[in-house]
Amino acid sequence: MSMKSKRWGGEVTMRNVMSRNWAFLLCFCSFCAGVLFTNRLWMVHESRPSRIGAQRIYSEPDGCNQKLVIKHTSNDSPGEATNHVIQELNKTISNLEMKLATSRGAHESVHNGSPISGNLKTVQSNSKKKYFMVIGINTAFNSRKRRDSVRATWMPQGEERKKLEEEKGIVIRFVIGHSSTAGGILDKAIEAEEQVNEDLLRLNHVEGYLELSAKTKTYFSTAVALWDAEFYVKVDDDVHVNLATLGMILSKHHLKPRVYIGCMKSGPVLARKGVKYHEPEYWKFGEVGNKYFRHATGQLYAISKDLATYISINQDVLHKYANEDVSLGSWFIGLDVEQVDDRRLCCGTPPDCVWKAMTGNICAASFDWRCSGICRSVERIMDVHERCGEDKNAIWNARFSQ
């Protein structure tokens, strides 16, 4: 019994040793197979980006349609190719939004019977042309003398204005809506003025000082529908402008997709009723005595095409504050927008702009802060133009990036 038991015990021990050996062998084989399989997957994974990286996406127009075309290249690294694809997609989306805004603006103009720049031929003739900047001069029905003073100073007239559009890509229009009684004497007077000068942009908007925020939205929406420009500018009709200097300032930022340019400020929120620039919604800005967020002063500012398109697409949901410059600044809060503060856009009238011109810093815009424009502009803007205006050939010798 004892011998048999020992023999049986030895067999059990031998089997345990063999089982452990087999287990070790299987583990080693599994490890080798795992390493081989993992390396194979890694090599496949490494090879794929080189194939994907060798593709670029381009946007090509096809009539009214937009095509995404994939072209193969072999010079870019995967990271560079990915960044290029993202940039092209962003550009394509921006172009599609631009076309959407243009189509919607034209459709609403017809549907609402708005006298936008005469008729739809303007939309059709401008749809293919690229412009550098569109300047909208905010004006009112009772500002005929102001408009004439601007025409006599810094705003080219007749064939010279048309040449400015064709050769420099600069469009300038006085911007005005219609009266509360459509077709009344005020509207007829504006129509007669337009027939003579052909420099007014009529908006589907009821004029009123308390409606400037709404007018600003309508202006940008209308302008981006009519003209495909890099920049859209708003200026008041009692401000003097040097076009070449303004163009040179904007051209430095033409590669930035979302840029907001002006003289940035942050004034107090006026809660007391009856004062000028009273803010009825002062409570939204915190404690009494707080200041507004940073925004461009309303005498002159410029925005890039993407921002004008954004306003056009979202105009129905953008909130309007009492002051239009505050409203514009609020529309860009939360967006990836670069603010550019350039003090050449808010120079004073002589002697301030004269001194700056003597030092080589020609002003792009001049006005009096205490009047929110040139005080008595009808009488004084010619003097400002003669003393602070740039050379008459400056605009024709200037080169802007388009």
Q: Tell me, what DSSP letter sits at residue 284?
A: G
**Cβ atoms within 10 Å of 274's Cβ, excluding its own:** 6
Tokens at 375, concatenated? 């005080």
- Give residue 271's pLDDT band: very low, low, confident or very high (50, 70, 90): confident
What percentage of the chain reaches a pLDDT higher than 70? Answer: 69
Tokens at 352, concatenated? 């301030």
- In this predicted structure, the answer to whether residue 331 has a pLDDT above a threshold of 90 is yes
| Mean pLDDT lowest among 77-81, 83-87, 303-307 | 77-81
What gap in Å lies between CA 242 and CA 390, rounded to an integer? 6
- In this predicted structure, the answer to whether residue 151 has a pLDDT above a threshold of 50 is yes
Q: Which of 15-29, 117-131, 269-283 has the highest mean pLDDT?
A: 269-283
Tell me the whole-structure pTM to 2 decimals: 0.73
- Least Cα distance to 219 among 335, 127, 303 occurs for 303
- Give residue 32's pLDDT band: very low, low, confident or very high (50, 70, 90): low
Tokens at 241, concatenated? 């402008």
Detail the DSSP E strand segments found in 237-314.
Answer: 240-241, 259-265, 295-304
- In this predicted structure, the answer to whether residue 249 has a pLDDT above a threshold of 80 is yes
What gap in Å lies between CA 172 and CA 242, rounded to an integer? 13
The CA-atom distances, in angstroms, between 390 and each of 167, 169, 238, 289, 383 are 19, 19, 18, 41, 13
Half-sphere exposure (Cβ direction) of 4: Cα atoms closer than 13 Å: 1
The domains found in the chain, sorted by start residue, are 130-267+295-397 (3.90.550.10)
Q: Strands 259-265 and 295-304, how do they pair? A: antiparallel
The CA-atom distances, in angstroms, between 65 and each of 60, 62, 159, 265 are 9, 5, 35, 43
Query: What's the confidence (pLDDT) of residue 115?
Result: 45
What gap in Å lies between CA 132 and CA 168, rounded to an integer? 7
What gap in Å lies between CA 352 and CA 176, rounded to an integer? 31
Backbone angles phi, psi at 147, to 5 degrees: -60, -45
Query: What's the confidence (pLDDT) of residue 374?
Result: 98
What gap in Å lies between CA 366 and CA 348, rounded to an integer? 5
What gap in Å lies between CA 48 and CA 25, rounded to an integer? 35
Task: Report angle CA 116, 117, 121 to the nearest 5 degrees.
Answer: 100
Q: Which of 52-66, 265-279, 364-378 has the highest mean pLDDT?
A: 364-378
Query: What's the confidence (pLDDT) of residue 99?
Result: 57
Q: Which residues contact 244 (CB under 8 A, 6 or more apart)?
A: 390, 394, 395, 397, 398
Half-sphere exposure (Cβ direction) of 352: Cα atoms closer than 13 Å: 15
